[in-house]
Structure formats: C-alpha cells, structure tokens
Amino acid sequence: MKYQFKSSIPKEEYDDFVTAFPSSSFMQTSSWSEVKTAWAHDFVGMYEKEKLVCAAMILKRNIFLGKKLFYIPRGFVIDYKNKNLLKEFVVALKSYAKTDNCIDIKIDPFICFNEDNVQNIKKNKGILVKTYFKDNTDEIVNNLKDVGFKHGGYKKEVNAYIQPRYTMAISLRDKDGNPYEKESLRRTFPKNTRNYIGSYQEERGVEFSYSTKLEDVKDLVSVLKCTEQRQHISLRSEEYFKKLMESFPRNAVLFFARVDVEKYITFLKEDMKENENKKEFCEKQIIEAEKVKKEFGLKPIAGATIVMMPTCQTGTKVASFLYAGTNTRILPSLKITNGLMFYRLCYCLSKGCDYCDLGGVDGSLEDHLATFKSKFNPNVLELVGEFDLVTNRFYYSLFNLGMKALKFIRSKR
C-alpha cells in the first residue's frame, strides 16, 4: 500500500499541514475542535513516506445506543482530484469509523458549483450563471460519489443543512484579479449604500475600531443581545465568544462602531444654521441624540461584529463574518451598519484577503439576511452541500427515522 493511515496525529503537526494547504478553512484547524466543546474529536490523515499528504479533523458525537456520528466540517484537507489518495483515505477512514461505532461520516466541503453577482442573478430571475470559485467542481463531486459518498441534495433553505448551502461573499479583487483600492471597493456598492460611508459618518461622530482583547467580548455580547431581542432569536453565549477568541488568538477579531454623541449634536446645530430646510429634521435628531446620551452615555456602541480571519497561508484567503449585532435604539438614521461593513472590508483588504464571506442566506435570496447583504453588491456562492458516507445502514436508518419523528413532534407543538 502506497499510503499509511494514522489517527491521533499530534496537533502541531496537523495544524502545520492544514495551514500550509491552499485555501483551507478555519473550521479544519485543531482550534475549531476546541470551540466545539460538545463534540469529541480526533485528527487523522494519510502519510506517504512519513510525510502527511491529507488530513481531517473529525468531530464525534454520541447519538444513541453507543453509536456515533462523525462530522468533518468543510471536508477533508486533500486534493480531491487525486483519485488514488482519496480512495485509499476514504477506505481507511471508513474502517476507522467502524471500530469507533460510527454509523455515518458527514462532510460539507467548501466546493462551489456556481458564483455570480447578486445583481446579475436578479436580472436573470434567480438563476446563477455557471462560473467556478474552484476549478473542476464537477470532477470533485464525481470523485466523492465514486468512493461511496451520497450527496444530500440541493435544498435552498438556509437551515436545511449544518452549514448553509448558499452564502454571500464580497470579492476584494477586481475583474483582473488585483486587490481593490479602498475607494474603488467603495464604488462597487450601490449609490444609496456608499453615500452613507466615509465622510458622511465621520462628520457626524461615528467611529470604528477593532480589537483582539478578550475583555472586549462583553461589548460584543451586549450589542448581540439587542439583536436577539429585536428578532426574537437566540445567538451564542459570552462563554462561546471567549472560547473562540482564546482558541483563535491571531484570527478572531472584534469590530465596533461607536457614536460620539456630542460631536453629532454639534454637527446638527451647525447643519441647521447653514441649511434652513433641514431645521425640522435636525431638531428631531438633537432630541433623539440627547436621549441616547442620557441612556447610553457619551460614546455608546451602536454596532459590533466578530470576524474570523483566514488561517491558511496560501491559496484563496477567505475572511468569515460570523456574528453581527446592532443597537437600533442608537441613532439609526446614521446607517451605521454600512460604515461598519466597509471598515471590516478595508481591514480584511489590508490583511491580503481575497473574499469576505458574509454568511449564509436562503437560496431564494428573498430572506431578510439576503436583502440586507445585497446592499453591498456581493457575489452569491452556491455550495455543493452535504455528503454522507454510511458505515452502518441498519443503525443509520433507525437514526433517520428517529430524527423524522422528532421533527414531526416538534412541528405539532
């Protein structure tokens, strides 16, 4: 046999391989296993002449009767076009899974079928033009099927799979592949978005900053709670974000938008003097600003986000915008989310990123997330979705029946 399979690969060796592999995801690093505390994990791979040539971080969860589910987020760290390596790795992985009572191995590789600008999609009535984020996509999918993986289908709903199958991303490179200048990037946005970015907000006291300090997580969480209450959703806990920052000290970055309320009031007073037709609006804004100052202080945080910077050293470098919140009680007329988005993009541009992944959306592109993100003229990436390699058909069938029954019961509540 040309290759040798090994489990329990030392974390340092595993991470050296993953971060050096082109276009690998932060979800494939050992640090992600530290964040996913509800799962056990292992690092496995194939060696050729004592050299690691492919690897995977496996998350393991007990499901029932001592049986386990294996989940490999964002798939293997492998050249999927190397059929021999892929086949031998999957055969060895399946054998390893059976010895650990695993009934199914689930992967969701970052393989993109289609990529198109959101404006083009609207013109084409929701159809994505066939282009490639990654070469030979069809070949990769067929190779996975040839080694026994079953594709999970092409559902569009944002929650249909563990990771959304549709995501929006902003390219930080122009059509010739060169990094944008900041102003050129701003010009890619629709007029009604870019007009609220830059001097518009600077003059009105809006300030942006970033932080990698653990103690600043509390400020992120305080803003996220505003979003939770407004949208009746539940996001992550403060402990989760602290764990994320601790596990990715060089990659997890917090971003904040604050308003210097006194500066804004001063601007409004001057604007009112110079523009009589703005008097009514400015007077209302001054009253609102005084209320904000009284309730939230002189420089309240109006928006906060956390971004995962790329962990890979080569290939396509994607920054992932994970969570974002806005306190809409703080001067919403300033369109602070526009500026905070641009500030993050410029930060990622300065760090050599190629794309900024804004996160998952519904494939119909009609949900509120898609509507908001479309303001920044992103590309839509249609990912291939999930694949399953069943290692015990009997128990896997029982598990699926149980999950369907549970969903039915919940739907009747």
Write out pLDDT tens, residues 46-89: 999 999 999 999 999 999 889 999 999 999 999 999 999 999 99
Q: Is residue 172 part of a domain?
A: yes
Q: Are 68 and 102 in contact (CB under 8 A)?
A: yes
Q: Minimum mean pLDDT among 6-20, 41-55, 117-131, 393-407: which range?
A: 117-131
Residue 34 sits in a domain whose CATH number is 3.40.630.30
Q: How many domains does the chain have?
A: 2
In this structure, are 73 and 203 located in the same domain? Answer: no
Write out pLDDT tens, residues 129-186: 655 455 578 899 999 999 999 999 999 999 999 999 999 999 999 989 999 999 999 9
Amino acid at 403: M
Helices 261-274, 279-296: crossing angle, 10 deg rounding: 170
Place 409 in a pLDDT band, splitting at 50, 70 and 90: low
Place 408 in a pLDDT band, splitting at 50, 70 and 90: low
Q: Are 287 and 268 in contact (CB under 8 A)?
A: no
Assigned token pair, 149: 């993986």
In this structure, are 224 and 334 located in the same domain? Answer: yes
In this structure, are 175 and 103 located in the same domain? Answer: no
Mean pLDDT of the region 116-130 = 76
Q: Is the pLDDT of residue 45 over 70?
A: yes
Of 254, 194, 221, 226, the closest CA to residue 375 belongs to 194
Q: Are 128 and 116 in contact (CB under 8 A)?
A: yes
DSSP H helices in 248-314:
261-274, 279-296
* pLDDT at site 316: 93
Distances (CA, A) of 71 to 39, 111, 401: 9, 17, 19
d(CA 94, CA 91): 5
Q: What is the largest CA-CA distance in the chain?
A: 83
Distances (CA, A) of 126 to 167, 362, 394: 14, 12, 40
**In b/e form, how buried is each residue of 345-371, taking b as 16+ CB within 10 angstroms?**
bbbbbeeebbbbbbbbbbbebebebbe
In this structure, are 350 and 395 located in the same domain? Answer: no
Pairing of strands 150-151, 4-6: unpaired
In this structure, are 373 and 396 located in the same domain? Answer: no
> Which residue range forms the structural domain that includes residue 69?
4-108+386-411
Do you know the residue count of the chain? Answer: 413
- Map tokens 């050296």 to a residue: 16
Of 60, 142, 50, the closest CA to residue 93 belongs to 60
Q: Is residue 241 part of a domain?
A: yes
d(CA 241, CA 26): 15
In this structure, are 100 and 180 located in the same domain? Answer: no
64 contact partners, CB below 8 Å, separation of at least 6: 398, 399, 402
Indicate the SS3 state at residue 28: helix
Indicate the SS3 state at residue 114: strand
Residue percentage of the chain with pLDDT more than 90? 83
Write out pLDDT tens, residues 224-250: 999 888 888 888 999 999 999 999 999
